Amino acid sequence: MARISVLLVDDNITFLSILKNYVQEHWRDELDVVGVATDGKDALEQASTLKPQVVLLDLVMPGVNGFQVIPLLKQALPQTRIIVLTLLDTPDYRQTSLAAGADDFVAKEHLDTDLPPAFARIMQNLELDWKLEVGKSPAIQHSTPTSNVQTLNSSLIEETVNPTDVVMRDEEHDESPIDQNPPCRG
């Protein structure tokens, strides 16, 4: 799998620099920092151009804040993963971020302990997406010789309706079922 592209978004320029160095140092073989933004508007513009696979996003920024960026970013780039990275580690902020579409939430004070597993989860999801795109999902690699298309078709066939179970309806009258075996009149 190719290196994962990352956009960093934070209004604190000093933290943004520290974060960029941290990411490049810890994931130099896996991640490429393709851009940095200092506010939500810039983040949306850069994301539109760069199409990063992952965005590390602060919540509290001037202008367009992180809470506003999340759904806009997910709408424009639904495959992009968002990790919220904030000082505001409260249950409400966490829940609101995740409900808006963020994929993970990391408190800045726990950057060293919580960001690596968050990235691991994101990278695992991206790898699975990539494998599914090229037809190499783990399920396919470890399946029996029958193709997934045949397996899918078989499961669809099992769920189809038996033609003898279909009830015909009289469309001209009252939508009641037509008796397929009327009584014999003699």
What pLDDT was estimated at residue 124? 85
47 in any annotated domain: yes
Q: What is the pLDDT of residues 72-119, one digit of tens each?
A: 999 999 999 999 999 999 999 999 999 999 999 999 999 999 999 999
- The Cα 48–Cα 129 span in angstroms is 20
Residue 72 lies in a domain: yes
At residue 128, the pLDDT reads 63
Give this prediction's pTM.
0.69
Task: Lay out the sheet containing 54-57: strands in order across.
Answer: 31-37, 4-9, 54-57, 81-86, 104-107
Domain encompassing residue 15: 4-138
Give the number of domains in the chain.
1
Q: What is the pLDDT of residues 154-177, one digit of tens each?
A: 333 333 333 333 333 334 444 444
Euclidean distance between CA atoms 176 and 69, whole angstroms: 53
162 within some domain:
no
3-state secondary structure of 1: coil
**Burial (CB count <10 Å: 0-12, 13-18, 19+), residue 137:** middle
Residue 165 lies in a domain: no
Domain-embedded: residue 65: yes
Q: pLDDT-derived band of residue 149, with 50, 70 and 90 as boundaries? A: very low
Q: Say if CB 82 and CB 103 are below 8 A apart.
A: yes
Pinpoint the alpha helices (H) of the chain.
Answer: 13-26, 40-50, 66-76, 91-100, 111-133, 138-141, 148-159
Give the list of residues 6+ apart from residue 32 with CB closer than 8 angstroms, or none: 3, 4, 5, 6
| CATH number where 105 lies | 3.40.50.2300
Residue 121 in any domain: the answer is yes
Do the domain assignments include residue 77? yes
In angstroms, the CA 110 to CA 124 distance is 21
Residue 62 falls inside a structural domain: yes
Cβ atoms of 26 and 32 closer than 8 Å = no
